[in-house]
Amino acid sequence: MKFENDVVVVGGCGHVGLPLAIVLASKNLKVVSFDTNTQVVATVNSGKMPFDEPGAPEVLSKVLQAKRFSASSNKDVVSTAEHVVVVIGTPVDEHLNPDPEVVPNAVAQLVDVLKDGQHLVLRSTVYPGVTKLVEKVIADCKKKIDVSFCPERIAEGKAVEELVALPQIISARTADAVERAKKLFNNLTQNMIVVSPEEAELAKLFTNTWRYIKFAAANQLYTIANDFGVDFERVRHAITHDYPRAADMPGAGFAAGPCLFKDTMQLAAFNNNNFTLGHSSMMINEGLPLYLVSRIEKNYDLSKMTVGVLGMAFKAESDDIRSSLSYKLKRILKFKAQSVICADALVSDDDTLVSEAELVARADLIVIGAPHKRFASMPISVPVVDIWNIRKQGVLI
């Protein structure tokens, strides 16, 4: 069957969908990003990225000019492409319960515009078994559509680079669906790993959970050293310097963002909440802001101080504040300090922020919430709490 477009990405103007869409378009495919947010669609079609992603603005400009890419809020575009890539993932609610129905329900809402002969690709992290639920949705609608699950593996800030550099996991129930998925992602890489859908679902969850646990281990070691009056960074340097078996030990810092915590809790729920390691990691990582404030209180009378939180994104060189622990730190400090001010020049969707210059001028104490590179040499005359050691002055509090 002949289709007008090669690929349509559902949810295609977000952090996962848009980089995939424009990089595929740069490989001579005709791609449309479908997104219900009309304002973001307009922004993308004007040639502007709605979020910061190194290298992406140049690719977006190139594929728009070549007329190989466009964004649309018209659901009917879903019927125009051979490959329909869905980047909606399984969320967790305020009680940390995953909702396995979100992705199947989203696909069910597309049934009226899906056509025989299409290839449906699930791309975001899903609760184990969700691929099978989506296959049932497709089977119930009596349409001949192949389904595959090919999880994204990129890190924000490295999407353009990693989409073509990393191996691609391919999974599907039938040989035809596997071949179609391989054909699609062969535009990005020839390095592919074929597994079953259930193996792929666990591979994605295990990847994010492993990173979250590693960060928790480092944060726990940090608190042990700190409570003993020892600078954890000096210990970590002694451990990791020219010693390959410990080279992957991360430094201390906020382990946050939209994926790691959420996916660890998904895995716990999947295993009937029998996941002591995951729950312990959550308590360590989510408890770090409170630990920092409790240590600061031992040295300063916060009730008489203006405290500045410098860096509100969830990680360095990012504008993304989703699930950022800097905001948890802010809430704790507001209860303890005379006043709290926050700044991050990269963040544009928080009108409570002050300029970084104002924060440095007004604050009696500064806590670095996100280790943006510019903070390393920023002139600051007041005490700085820098758990990241971005300023190379140690992490002892």
Please choose, from the candidates 118, 116, 148, 117, the residue with its C-alpha nearest in 3D space to the C-alpha of residue 132.
148
109-158: per-residue pLDDT in tens?
999 999 999 999 999 999 999 999 999 999 999 999 999 999 999 999 99
pLDDT at residue 2, as a whole number: 86
Q: What is the arithmetic mean of pLDDT over 36-52?
A: 97
User: Between residues 88 and 193, which one has the greater pLDDT?
Assistant: 193
> Which pair of structure tokens corresponds to residue 79?
């019927």
Name residue, tokens 């360095």.
316
**Residue 261: helix, strand or coil by DSSP?**
helix
Q: What is the arithmetic mean of pLDDT over 192-221?
A: 97
pLDDT at residue 248, as a whole number: 95
Residue 1: pLDDT over 80 = no
pTM over 0.75: yes
Please choose, from the candidates 44, 46, 42, 39, the residue with its C-alpha nearest in 3D space to the C-alpha of residue 22.
44
Q: What is the arithmetic mean of pLDDT over 243-253?
A: 97
- When pLDDT is cut at 50, 70 and 90, the band that residue 257 belongs to is confident
pLDDT at residue 90, as a whole number: 85
Q: What is the arithmetic mean of pLDDT over 208-234?
A: 98
CA–CA separation, 127 and 132 (whole Å): 11
**Bridge pairing between strands 168-172 and 146-149:** antiparallel
HSE value, Cβ hemisphere, 13 Å, CA-based, for 319: 13
Strand partners, 309: 342, 367
352-375: per-residue pLDDT in tens?
999 999 999 999 999 999 999 999
pLDDT at residue 216, as a whole number: 98
Domains of the chain and any CATH numbers: 5-195 (3.40.50.720), 209-385 (3.40.50.720)
CA–CA separation, 110 and 75 (whole Å): 8
pLDDT at residue 89, as a whole number: 85
- Percent of the chain scoring above 70 in pLDDT: 100
Name residue, tokens 């510019």.
374
Residue 71: pLDDT over 90 = yes
**How close are the terminal C-alpha atoms of the chain, in Å?**
65
pLDDT at residue 96, as a whole number: 79
- Percent of the chain scoring above 90 in pLDDT: 95
Name residue, tokens 């502007």.
48
Please choose, from the candidates 52, 257, 84, the residue with its C-alpha nearest in 3D space to the C-alpha of residue 158.
52
Supply the mean pLDDT for the chain. 96
